[in-house]
Amino acid sequence: MDDRKAAIVGEIPRLRRYARALLRERDAADDLVQDCLERALTRIDNWQTGESPRRWLFTIMHHLFIDRMRKAGRRGEAAMMPLDSGEALAAPAEQFGNAASREIVDALQAISPDRRAALVLVSIEGFSYAEAANMLGVPAGTLMSRIARGREELRALLDDSTRRRNIRVVET
């Protein structure tokens, strides 16, 4: 049992990176990781030793992320946020070094959660298409099109923000 727990703890840095890429804000991302760890512990008997803890944990976290995004989007729950918890939203991207990093982190947040997850699993976390498709529970073709669309959308947003920035400079 403690071996398993040690293996889970060993995955926390990677889980945090995935969560940060999905949600941007540090506290929100760590809350997601904590939800994931708590859920994993209730199901630790489902995890066979020998199976990669990484894929198992990433799958759990991804499902938590997508479930919440869908529910929140459908029910407009964000609206019920009390005024004084607004700081969570305002979290500046200062955790992400230079301006180019901040810009791409912001653009990543603006693409759909499904595409974002596919892109992050493959581009940042380095999973193969087969592994990522398996974690996301979609066919490989769907994964590929999410990646292609996600990259196109990301690039369009970055081009757009470059254009806006240039326009602003000209008008000032």
Residues 90-109 that bind another protein (CB under 8 A): 90-91, 96-97, 100-102, 104-105, 108-109
Contacting another protein (CB under 8 A), which of 51, 52, 77, 163? 77
> What is the C-alpha to C-alpha distance for residues 14 and 61, in angstroms, rounded to an integer?
12
Footprint (CB under 8 A) of another protein, residues 7-36: 8-9, 12-14, 16-17, 20-25, 27-35
| Distance set, CA 112 to CA 7, 118, 160 (Å) | 31, 10, 17
Bridge partners of 139, per DSSP, are: none
Task: Please say whether the beta carbons of 103 and 24 come within 8 A.
Answer: no
Q: State the nearest-atom distance from the C-beta of 136 to another protein, in Å.
A: 15
Q: Residue count at the site for another protein (CB under 8 A)?
A: 82
50: how many CB neighbours lie within 10 A of its CB?
5
Contacting another protein (CB under 8 A), which of 46, 128, 162, 166? 128
Token readout for 93 is 């991207």
Footprint (CB under 8 A) of another protein, residues 48-67: 64-65
